[in-house]
Amino acid sequence: FSMQNHKNGKTSHKDATSKKDKPQTKTKMEHIFGFKKEDLTSWRSLVSLLNRPTDPASLGIFRCLFGLLMAIDITQERGLSHLDYKYLDGAPVCRFPLFNFLQPLPMDWMYLVYVVMFLGALGIMFGCFYRLSCLMFISTYWYIFFLDKTTWNNHSYLYGIIGFQLILMDGNRYWSIDGLWKPSIRNAHVPLWNYTVLRAQIFIVYFIAGVKKLDADWVEGYSMSYLAHHWLFDPFKVILPVDLVSLLVVHGCGLVLDLTAGYLLFFDVTRPYAFFFVSYFHCMNSQLFSIGMFPYTMLATSPLFCYPDWPRRFFARFPAFLRGALPFTTCDLQPSTSCVYPEIENTSTERQETPPVAKTPKLRLRHKLGAIFTVLYIIEQFFLPYSHFITQGYNNWTNGLYGYSWDMMVHSRSHQHVKITYKDGKTGEIGFLNPGVFTQSRRWKDHGDMLKQYATCLSQLLPRYNISEPEIYFDIWVSINERFQQRIFDPRVDIVKADWSPFQPNPWLMPLLVDLSPWRTKFQEIEGSLDNQTEIVFIADFPGLHLENFVSEDLGNTSVQVLQGKVNIEIVEEKKNFTLEPGEQIKVPAGAYHKVYTVSDEPSCYMYIYVNTTEAALQENFTKLFELQERIRNGTETEPLPPELQPLIAADDGEGAEVNATDPIVRLFLKRQRRMKEVKKRREAGVLERLERFTIKKYYSVRRGFLMTAIALRNLAVGLPPLEQLTREVAFANMKEPQAEANQDERLKDEVGHTEL
């Protein structure tokens, strides 16, 4: 339940007196867990334990930090800075709400929703109109959260449930504006269950995330193998090869930390070590992933496991002249009706004094409700991650609704092929749509419920383009955790008419070919035997289906080799068919279509082997230009350069050489060099320069969000201004720093393949 500080302050004068008369001794269980086994022997004792008076200091500091982080999050991950791009008034956009009846308000009103959410976060931070602020925050937060499933993730779900918890807690008893207005709640006790719920929640986040990582893919090092190439793991590569860094450091240490972090944070002896490791872990995550405030929110939760009075001891070390602006350091706490205090009966007489006798405390309804909520909430949080047997319609190789599962980073996916085919229901005309048309998200490719929503939306929009009663078919190929690329949905099913229910299995979802998972070891051997210019794609397909593929003219020497099963390859233009058994291969022509039919009774496995001849030739030219440039710099090049190579001499002067280059290969070479130079400059930048760059970027992002919000609120208050004025105002809000404007169309990419991070 909790660790209870021995310096919590005075609960009552009588209690303090009795302690002086007879020192209290604690059992070993009390020292370790903070409660006695007798506290769990009956419902009444459990209610008393959960409502035990506790110092509000740690809860107050967490409330303040959480409100601050949520206020920052609203401008970042919640999307205030680009709200007008997301909610386009009147535009034909397909959206993915949790409930289909949920729709966004007009754009100016959406800005008002965000203002309410932002004010709620600030109110939580300052403890001002605390419960009203919590209600403002969570009502608008959950509306935004339910409005778009494509942004669902575990940490966004965590923010919402912590906001819900805070509205039921007495988080404004310490360092709050409410405490200035209402002295009766200032520095008053809070019931222990306030801490119990928060600590249990964070324990569940860590522990269930660890349990989910006991999956074979994680234990064997397939889930997040690409992370080992990140520069953060370079120190480990000094003593370990990359594959062991992935297996032992990324996957092994991640599993151990998640399984043990909650336990290590709970106990006094292990807490300092837990602080170090979880802080290091979250700081790394802030650099590895674009997950907003999540690492910092988790860092803010760690002190909740300390003794509740830690802020008093911490701020007491500050100079006296700062105390006025800092939280309370006094230990004189006020009693609270939210807590249960032990009642003492004094049985002394004139002739003989006996020790005070503890009476059974009086339990009120609010105390019982707090205990009931605590018990039911913890049970519910342990149940939800394993409740996917209820929401079977959401089963898409990751079980159920992803957002409450805590299966963080357990799966990595790559998409090789996405094709959307429409058929006119009246004329029979067949055509193709660009993947992602009419939507701003890409997550629909992996989730059956979103695919159904997308198909329904497309069927409503396509009649505007003279396509009557459209049928929509999806052919999507996905590799999960480095397996074969395979179909995730049945390409023969019209998704518009297909049935879908959140409580029934999805009949048009193709099963994951887990029996082929052992092939991944063979993949590594095959890839290791290839040269740097040869690339390979592993494909698995179901009996009775076929893959239609087009080989680009850039890809020379492309061949198909069968690994398992039996396939028939049709060269469309040549009207030829070839049947291949395991171990056989055939070369397919470039610049033409071919089809691969699975004709065996079991799934077929085959691989494409190809060389990007255009890229290989370009790299060869780049190598020659680089060698020539080095000879020019060293003064060893004696031959006069032709005009098209003259820009190589002036390459060190800046972009002018790139602009003046007439040869397209020379222009690409100089452009690539400039990018590499800028990447190197950014990597080698000092801490102050990085901080300045980060600050400027965030400033302009936040600036845009607040300016656009001001425009929207003005529009709601007095109406739309003339179009020219509105255009000038939006242009002013869109203003960026000069460097960002110059590089707006050329985003720097990491040359060693870290761009996916």
Q: Cα(61)–Cα(314) distance, rounded to whole angstroms?
A: 12
How far is residue 129's CA from residue 161's CA, in Å, rounded to a whole number?
Answer: 20
pLDDT in tens, 378-434: 999 999 998 888 888 887 787 667 678 888 888 889 998 899 999 999 999 999 999
Nearest to 150 by CA among 440, 408, 413, 457: 440
- Tell me the percentage of the chain whose pLDDT exceeds 90: 60
Report the pLDDT value the prediction gives residue 749, as an integer from 0 to 100: 37
Catalytic residue among 86, 149, 213, 452, which? 213
The DSSP secondary structure of 573-617, one letter per residue, reads: TTTEEEEE-TT-EEE--TTEEEEEEE-SSS-EEEEEEEEEHHHHH
**What pLDDT does residue 348 have?**
52
Q: What is the per-residue DSSP string for 654-674?
A: -THHHHH--SHHHHHHHHHHH
pLDDT of residue 8: 42
Q: Give the separation between CA 669 and CA 676, rounded to whole angstroms.
A: 11
Query: Residue 487 — left, alpha, or beta (φ > 0 → left; ψ -120 to 50 → alpha)?
Result: beta
pLDDT at 516: 93
Beta bridge partners of 243: none
The enclosing H or E element of 369 equals helix 365-383
Residues of the chain with pLDDT under 50: 1-23, 349-352, 740-757
Judged by DSSP in three states, 71 sits in helix
For 9-46, b where at least 16 C-beta lie within 10 A, e where not — what string?
A: bebeeebeebeeeeeeeeeeebeebbbeeebeeeeebb
Q: Is 681 a catalytic residue?
A: no
13-54: pLDDT as tens digits: 334 333 344 445 778 888 888 888 888 889 999 999 999 999
CB atoms within 10 A of CB 49: 23
Cβ atoms of 378 and 197 within 8 Å: the answer is yes
In the prediction, which pLDDT does 488 show?
Answer: 94
Q: Tell me the C-alpha to C-alpha distance, in Å, between residue 172 and each of 58, 60, 64.
A: 11, 6, 9
Average pLDDT over the chain, rounded to whole?
Answer: 87
Q: For residue 368, what pLDDT is reported?
A: 95
Q: What is the pLDDT of residue 670?
A: 85
Q: Do residues 318 and 334 touch, judged by C-beta distance below 8 A?
A: no
Per-residue pLDDT at 663:
81
Backbone φ, ψ for residue 321 (5° rounding) = -70, -10
Q: What pTM does this model have?
A: 0.87
Q: What is the pLDDT of residue 680?
A: 81
Quick one: pLDDT at residue 122?
97
